Structure 1
Amino acid sequence: MTLIQNIRDDFPILNQTIQGKPLIYLDSAATSQKPSVVIETLHHYYEKDNANVHRGVHTLSVKATESYEASRDKVAKFINANCREEIIFTRNATEAINLVAYSWGLNHLKQGDEILTSVMEHHSNLVPWQMIAQKTGAVIRYIQLTDNEDLDLDHFKSMLSEKTKLVSIVHISNMLGCINPIEEITKLSHSFGAKVLIDACQSVPHTPIDIQNIDCDWLVASGHKMCGPTGIGFLYGKRKILESMPPFLGGGEMIDEVFLDHFTYGELPHKFEAGTPAIAEAIALGRAVDYLTEIGMNTIHSYEEQLSSYLFQQLERIPNLRAYGVKKIKNGIGKAALASFNVDGIHGSDLSTLLDNEGIAIRSGDHCTQPLHHLLKASGSARASLYFYNTFEEIDKFTVALKETIDFFTKITE
């Protein structure tokens, strides 16, 4: 199935050779490629509209401000937020989590309170809470995996108590590819009075997100994983909660009035956006949202399910390959279009290096999930991650090259 005719032509970077071979980019979980319309939006801003936002009445400033704030509207609509004030632009999802950790966590958590998260979290959803726990005396508890290598929901249920004040959980694991039941997790957490933060970096680019259905208190995502530029992400928060939180950073933009002995801060969303923001990046993120919307998130999700199914069918045919994550699924449905794996006796970095010689870009390392790799008794893993601009033919070329690479290493070690 072809998602859309000539869609690859929208991504100029894909039309090149690496090591003399056509590029096959299988590292979109780390960062997605950017369509021409997003690149052109960046270029247009700097060439035609470059000015600071919210600070001037001259034409360029007005145009820049209108475009910047229009992007906020687009993001709000994209995830079905109640209002634009619930969208805070940040540098990335990591900053968004830190914003919640220091603005809400530091002011609400105390000795003995419990933070629930999971062993599969990205470091960005672990380290901030570890830092806050050290400062407040709160306790972090970790949801374990089932034998099927997905989230143990029964374990999660057993951990919930009146002590639970926050549940911070990933929607789709960037290493296991499992899709966590965040609607159920949120409902259960709220029944105990706990707040819920969702790391949606691997889900917002790939599947429709409806904040109203999820009902989480906060959600974070990164622009660069959803066809947008680097240096821009966003925090969604329920308006009443955001209004109760003090500013994260102080300076320009976030103020109402400043005197020599005190200050007052502005209204949402500006009180959380201190200093000159990433204007061009935010505007380009808005264009990326337009682009994804034009294709349709349901269309993207459906196509990627087929890619995922085909990828795992092909990997299952490779001897001595150990793929991580959910195993008991039907035809690959119910798992994200990414595969982390190891091959007996071959380091993931070696696989990645030789595949690069064939023009195939995959990632190797711990994928910022060191605790999860420790649990799985792996020093690291190789990872192939797909997006809607990938094809079945690319999966074929990847698996053929992977087999040949494995055969090469097998022969030189015999």
Structure 2
Amino acid sequence: MTLSLSSFVLVLSVVLMLLKNNKTFKQFLANKLQKSFSKLNRHIPISTNFHLNQSKNFEKSVGLAEVYDALLQLQEYGVRGFRQNAVLFHRASSLNAIHLEQLRKLNYFEKLEESNEAVNANQKTINSIIEHTLTQLLDSNSLDNADGRELLSVCNGLGYDYQENGVLKRRISHTKTLSPKSNQSRVNEAISHMCRDWHPKYEQERRPLMDFITSRLRSNRFQGRTLVVVPGSGAGGIAHEVALAFPEFDVHSVELSTLMYLCNEFALGHGHSISIKPFAQHFSGQLDTQNQVRDYQIDLSKVKRPSNLQVHLGDFCEFRPYEEYDQIIVASAYFIDTAENLFSYFDAIENLKFFCSELQWINVGPLKYGTQPKVQLNDKELTKLRKERNWKDLYHKCDSKDLNGYLTNEKSLYQGFYGLVKFHSTYKERK
């Protein structure tokens, strides 16, 4: 009797799940984790284009340690996905013989195997993201100093060797240590955003946002130097399109999530087709297995980095341009409801007035608050707040019947759509 790879992984994952309750095994894992996370014990800042130096746009840059942590989480995707499916396998296996026989007739366990195969396919794309990131870091920095040695340590910790000929090579055998801080929901969100931001199928979700932003940008005849800032830009699709549509403007993309940032940089620099199965582990609401594990091919060879686009990793609330502009326009999409403190977003945007003669804000997105918000304003309150803070609306519309999808699976029984708050405002500095 032979086992398929997926069946073997399911069995192995069940064994690991049982082992995790063993005290000796848990102590062994703790020791491995301690060694893994002791590699980076000092802050090494990272700036635009993966340079290991302090960014001019942030008072404190995100560090190499955060990038390493994100890469570890990406590397864990497959193992954790198999483990999650093993839990489903284990639960079903506890049923009585009659029910198990009925599940076999439904090919239920084959469905779990197909999900595992889809997870494995996603891991191959994720490995490309990891290798692209490491290659960019190695190519952008000197390796003969302390920071360079830390970078080589990062590669080693992820199972890669940097050879004398400049080639990054993955070791055949590499023991993965699972981070206790790993957030796989964020990993899934990031790779799903690769589809939303770059796959033609999701053009129907992106187009209403882009049409509004570009129409408002074209409604003004800007003179002199113009900067468009795209906060919370995710995997970077909107910032990329704005940069292409307005080559005369500088466009700065700012993203706080290291996972999203790495996906953005990968999309701009990979140059080859990739495959993503975004619903591989979405078991609820499915019509059939084939829809659950279906593939999205994204041709990144068609994606080129515009010369007027800069991609930043950092907190938008701390972002500062290092140049003066005649006008700065903040273009936010699906952003303001992500704030823990909405007032900090207002403050950050208004502080950009110190770097320009004219400040404008174009927004399109829902008001679906998350991230433990201190305040949750409705559209009417948000409109009043803009007026209170000396913003003058040039355009405002909120239509609950004009709905926009967000990572929507149109071939499932559950689909998410949002009404959009659209406004375009200009700021008059408060006295």
Does TM-score exceed 0.5, indicating one fold?
Answer: no
Structure in which a larger fraction of residues adopt helix? 2
TM-score, normalised with respect to structure 1:
0.24
TM-score, normalised with respect to structure 2:
0.23
The one of the two structures with greater contact order (alpha-carbon pairs below 8 A, sep at least 6) is 1
